[in-house]
Structure 1
């Protein structure tokens, strides 16, 4: 199969979608797919010298092509959304020109973005759409993408149920995000990890890794830290430079002093930091639909593979993967309840050994390879009709 994955994304990037796209492509190549990744040529000074395959530790290489776009994202903040619109439309126009130049009648297109699919639809090429979030009332473009697609891949079950309002059930498949089991499934002792990172050996470490958006719930974790005993330290790792600065202001405003804010680390360092922890927290908020219903956090699967107890918000998006046999739940957006659950785990008042073992067994089916097999089987079933 010749598959062209179009991603309107700046890659390499500090954001999780870069990992998701690159690992999905690598896993599809591993299944024998002849794959090309088409990207916009965007400005990213922090990553200009980075090799895309080395940065994401991708072993199975594939062709990456970059196309012109007018990158106005972040330059027209006084006109919300306009910068993204200009960038997306000019990237889509470059795709249109390429489709006119080449012969792609035998190719299958795949994308998680709507604008780049417009020229694909116009050229009447076959494509599949991967959806990561939606609205109660989708716009005309998204509805058209649904209608003309051969099938839609949803990243969780809640999204799939929402799609059934617009698509036949057999045109939808659920393929959660994944994890690199070769990288995260290797057991590293806490002692070795902490020695390598220069972290204290005599403290209990509570760890969150991910972005600092409001809906991620990190503000709840920061408030919860104030209720913890002095022998526990909360480490927050990740976030863009801009979001990290903003989060520091939040910590100073509320005088929250029990947080160690480390900023972002390279993908190669992530397993070591996870191994240093006593417990992981996934504190997603229930106040935004993207968090409550539609997210499929990469860190969830990395947490499960790293064999430490996971304390998670009790919200539908996380319950799509977790249950009481694989995680400890707390009331979303409730710092006091979160602190109680953290204390109980650290004091060994909760029998976490079986929970950790169950989570590790459960995460085996969420490897990138398993995801690629599921997607490829779905694609073939729809193409052979």
Structure 2
């Protein structure tokens, strides 16, 4: 099958959405499909030209078509129109979109389209919501993929989208260990108990909790990988007196696995309200499906994360993770102490999380599942 993937992501980028898009395209190719990806062209992350595929830790098995980085109201519609010449030449069998306007091209080519949504369609405006309602009522209706059951419920209940047209596909991660693609674990100099966090540092992602935890757990070392220069500056100033808090800054995605697999515990301390990249006053806490959760699960390490309904769609307390109240810092301290003092619990949680990951949450399995949504009648 030939799949045209129309994304609003900028490439290269430090954003989770760009990682998710690149990984899904790679997974489609691993399942035997031919893929053409459309993205916004962005400047290099470094001073030197980059190997885009290598930056994301993937093989070059699909082509990328770059479109202008438009940023005005309604730009998504022009963006999709600009994709037409390359689409006409490619002749796709299906159009897969992270941009609702891209699904209109399915009507133009008279082929099926799938819209993957990571947020409530109403956040994109009334026009987008009405467009989606129209697209699902066509002869070849657009299928919808949401990243959580909670988000599906919003589409069905708030926008009258037929239940049968909405599939739930939580996000995923690579099984690097099984494929022997990963780097060896990072070697630290001392035997201190290490707690790792990999991700962004904006509102609600967890630095609010980590900054409280560090002084209460002086016996642990907190390793923070990721964040923009601006966010790093803010948090370094707020925590400059904490010697057990180590910031690494941004590392290319292809390098993060060796750190992830080297920490004693992996932490994802979300608040109840979680900001969005570029829109930190937004909130995806109700329906998010964080990449880091699946990346953590893949490396057989114990996970501590927040006791939020959407995360309990994937994780089970005391079986695949320890779930803590984001409003009770003592709950997090007790969880870390339990893991520090109980190696069998660490092994139990890490092993169960990996088994769950392998059974449901690899990118390859996800890519196969989302295309099955086309079979729904």
How does the TM-score come out when normalised to structure 2? 0.86
Whether 1:177 and 2:166 are equivalent positions in the alignment is no
Please give the residue correspondences for 1:76-91 in structure 2 after superposition, counting only pairs within 5 Å.
Answer: 84-86=71-73, 89=75
The residue that corresponds to 1:99 in the other structure is: 84
Instruction: Give the SS at the match of 1:357.
Output: helix
Q: Which of residues 244, 248, 256 is equivalent to 2:232?
A: 244
Q: Which of residues 343, 358, 365 is equivalent to 2:352?
A: 358
Instruction: Give the SS at the match of 1:35.
Output: strand
The residue that corresponds to 2:152 in the other structure is: 160
Alpha-carbon distance between aligned partners in 1 of 2:213 and 2:87, rounded to the nearest angstrom: 56
Alpha-carbon distance between aligned partners in 2 of 1:16 and 1:43, rounded to the nearest angstrom: 17
Whether 1:369 and 2:364 are equivalent positions in the alignment is yes
Instruction: Give the SS at the match of 1:249.
Output: helix
Alpha-carbon distance between aligned partners in 2 of 1:169 and 1:31, rounded to the nearest angstrom: 27
**Deviations 1:305-340 (CA, angstroms, capped at 9, x unpaired):** 111110110001211100021111111133222122
Instruction: Give the SS at the match of 1:332.
Output: coil
Please give the residue correspondences for 1:183-198 in structure 2 after superposition, counting only pairs within 5 Å.
Answer: 183=177, 193-195=185-187
How does the TM-score come out when normalised to structure 1? 0.84
The residue that corresponds to 1:215 in the other structure is: 204
Please give the residue correspondences for 1:1-385 in structure 2 after superposition, counting only pairs within 5 Å.
Answer: 1-46=1-46, 49-70=49-70, 84-86=71-73, 89=75, 92-99=77-84, 103=88, 107-117=93-103, 126-134=112-120, 139-147=125-133, 148-149=135-136, 150-165=142-157, 166=159, 167-183=161-177, 193-195=185-187, 199-230=188-219, 232-252=220-240, 255-288=241-274, 290-324=283-317, 325-348=319-342, 351-364=345-358, 365-379=360-374, 381-382=375-376
Alpha-carbon distance between aligned partners in 2 of 1:136 and 1:5, rounded to the nearest angstrom: 22
Say whether the 8 Å CA contact 1:8–1:116 is kept in structure 2.
no
Alpha-carbon distance between aligned partners in 2 of 1:334 and 1:221, rounded to the nearest angstrom: 12
The alignment of Structure 1 onto Structure 2 pairs a total of residues equal to: 359
Query: What's the offset of the Cα at 1:263?
Result: 0.8
Alpha-carbon distance between aligned partners in 1 of 2:48 and 2:214, rounded to the nearest angstrom: 37
Alpha-carbon distance between aligned partners in 1 of 2:100 and 2:218, rounded to the nearest angstrom: 48
Instruction: Give the SS at the match of 1:214.
Output: coil
Q: Is there any run of 5+ residues in structure 1 with no aligned partner, and where?
A: 71-83
Say whether the 8 Å CA contact 1:114–1:141 is kept in structure 2.
no
Q: Is there any run of 5+ residues in structure 2 with no aligned partner, and where?
A: 137-141, 275-281
Query: What's the offset of the Cα at 1:212?
Result: 0.5
